[in-house]
Amino acid sequence: EAKKRGRGSYEFFDVELRERIQRELRLEQDLREAVLADQLWVAYQPVVDVETGRTIAVEGLMRWEHPTHGAISPVEFIPLAEESDLINVIGDFMLHTTTAEIASQRRLHDVDLRLTVNLSAKQLDDPTLVPSVRKALERTGLPPEALCLEITESALVREPEAAAQVLRALRSLGVRLAIDDFGTGYSAFAQLWRLPLDTLKIDQSFVAGLDKPDSDAVAIVTGIVNTAHAMKLTVIAEGTETEQQVAVLKELGCDQAQGYYFGRPVPAWRLFPLR
């Protein structure tokens, strides 16, 4: 079919590709300005204790309100930012904004709420990362043990030795470290074993299968929870949406959970009163 249409279909494809690249270039330029124009903000999602249902921590998730396109998902703009130094700029914005907001909410409500922030692989290569985390803690007074940094598996497998070194430097500041979206990358437990991690977050694709009768999810999550516990890691289930999933997670001994069932990402002030 495509062959029969000949040149026309190639032209059509070129137009589509060109439009996509142009949109990406425009968005990248817009994102550069977004930081200064106050279009970025942070939504926080509760992380709860599976046993008690109480909120232990919140994960900061970046939000971009574009002046003409409206809300743009981080799934779209984070990869764009990762293609340049921009990820370091907005990553730094995240660190400083989230530590300031959560430190101030902790004081205001007198609660021991922890904060988790996502780091991109590229930020691990940035020599200013560790000093920047230290500065954010000093400036806001957030205790280091109240901050957890999340890294995806792919960030660790690319250059495991270099990544491990940065993780050790972060750990020596007193912050905690988590591996995000576990199960979607290529890392094996054997690789994680050597890293100074505290927490493992099970990817939402496995959690979604927990209440489906003919899925392998229960067996997979059982394996992850047991192995993680043997490695002294705290386990968090991501994307928990139903009561049934929570019941299974409780039975499997998963420590903490996060998802729409417990709460959607919201502006900092809307987290209160905490559950």
Quick one: which of 30, 101, 153, 180 contacts Mg ion (CB under 5 A)? 180
Quick one: which of 39, 241, 242, 274 contacts ligand C2E (CB under 6 A)? 241
What token pair was written down for 136? 């954010």
> How many of the chain's residues bind ligand C2E (CB under 6 A)?
21
Q: Which stretch binds ligand C2E (CB under 6 A): 25-33, 189-197, 248-256, 257-265?
A: 257-265
Q: Which stretch binds Mg ion (CB under 5 A): 8-16, 50-58, 173-181, 257-265?
A: 173-181
d(CA 239, CA 246): 11
Q: Which residue bears the tokens 């817009």?
A: 30
Contact 176, 198 (CB under 8 A): yes
Q: CB of residue 209 vs ligand C2E: minimum separation in angstroms?
A: 13
- Please name the residues in contact with 50: beta carbons below 8 A apart, sequence gap of 6 or more: 237, 246, 249, 250, 254, 255, 256, 257
d(CA 163, CA 125): 8
Evaluated on CA atoms 215, 221, 224, 227, the torsion sign reads negative
Q: For ligand C2E, which residue has the nearest CB?
A: 259
259 binds, among ligand C2E, Mg ion, none (CB under 5 to 8 A by kind): ligand C2E
Q: What mask of x and - would describe binding to ligand C2E in positions 99 to 128, judged by CB under 6 A? A: -------------------xxx--------
The shares of helix, strand and coil residues in the chain, as percent rounded to the nearest 5, are: 50, 20, 30
265 binds, among ligand C2E, Mg ion, none (CB under 5 to 8 A by kind): ligand C2E
105 in helix, strand or coil?
helix
Quick one: which of 13, 193, 260, 269 contacts ligand C2E (CB under 6 A)? 260
Q: Is 265 in the site for ligand C2E (CB under 6 A)?
A: yes
Contact 271, 71 (CB under 8 A): no
What token pair was written down for 253? 């001994």
Task: List contacts with Mg ion (CB under 5 A).
Answer: 118, 150, 180-181, 238
Task: List contacts with ligand C2E (CB under 6 A).
Answer: 45, 61-62, 73-75, 78, 94, 118-120, 180-181, 204, 238-241, 259-260, 265
